[in-house]
A and B are shown apart, each in its own frame.
Chain A
Amino acid sequence: VRTAIPSPLLTLILSAVVLLVAGCPSNPVEPGHSPLVVNAERTVEVSFEAVTAFLSAENDNRVLVARDFPAIHAFAEQTRRDGPKAFAEANAAVRAYKVSRTTGDGDVMNAKLARVQSLARLAREYLVRIQTR
């Protein structure tokens, strides 16, 4: 049971979905808008959706994941505790930079973005791992 991949077709579908979630292409930024800000806003939103997709799937199978993937469940629980603050701080940092456009605020913004990107990267990895038990 623990090594079975029940359906190659479903695995393929899931892999395609996860790849899309991980690396969907971005449109060019319109003139008059800061590429830094637009990409930062995209990063927060895309990361948030990836993390939410992971947590929703984990929640649907919470008992099973806690039993068969304790490390993944622990990550989900940690993300539930810390994630809202991380995303709120990322949003606040982007908006602060949007107003000031200073290097200092830019550095803070990049640090906050790195945090939510890290959550999203792990979320995507674990989303794949749940289906390959």
Chain B
Amino acid sequence: VYLSLILTLLSVVERAAESLPKIMAAAKRAKELTPDQEAELDARMAAAFASPAWKTDEQLASGG
């Protein structure tokens, strides 16, 4: 049971830590995004939306 709790906690910490560099980069940006940067952001978002983390239970169950 405790192993499960610790693994859950580690997973949460890991996921939060993964996002930090991207958040810090966005927060430090002092200029408006260029069209290339906008396209890069769109691509990053599209990739995330297609990942399992952004899939609903139903989508995962249907293999979508």
Binding site for B on A (CB under 8 A): 1, 4, 6-7, 10-11, 13-14, 17-18, 20-21, 24-30, 33-34, 37-38, 41-42, 44-46, 48-50, 52-62, 64, 66, 77, 80-81, 83-84, 87-88, 91, 95, 98, 127, 130-131, 133
Contacts and interface: CB of A to CB of B under 8 A. Distances in A.
Size range of the interface on B? Answer: 35 or more
A58 B31 CA distance: 33
Contacts of A80: 54-56, 59
B32 A13 contact: no
Question: Mostly helix, strand, loop or mixed at chain A's interface?
Answer: helix
Interface of B: 1-2, 4-6, 8-20, 22-24, 26-33, 38, 41-42, 45, 48-49, 52-57, 59
Contacts of B16: 14, 17-18, 21, 53, 57, 127
A42 B27 contact: yes
Contact of B53 (A11, A38, A55, A91): A55
10 contacts: A27-B30, A28-B30, A33-B31, A41-B32, A46-B27, A64-B8, A80-B56, A81-B56, A87-B45, A131-B12
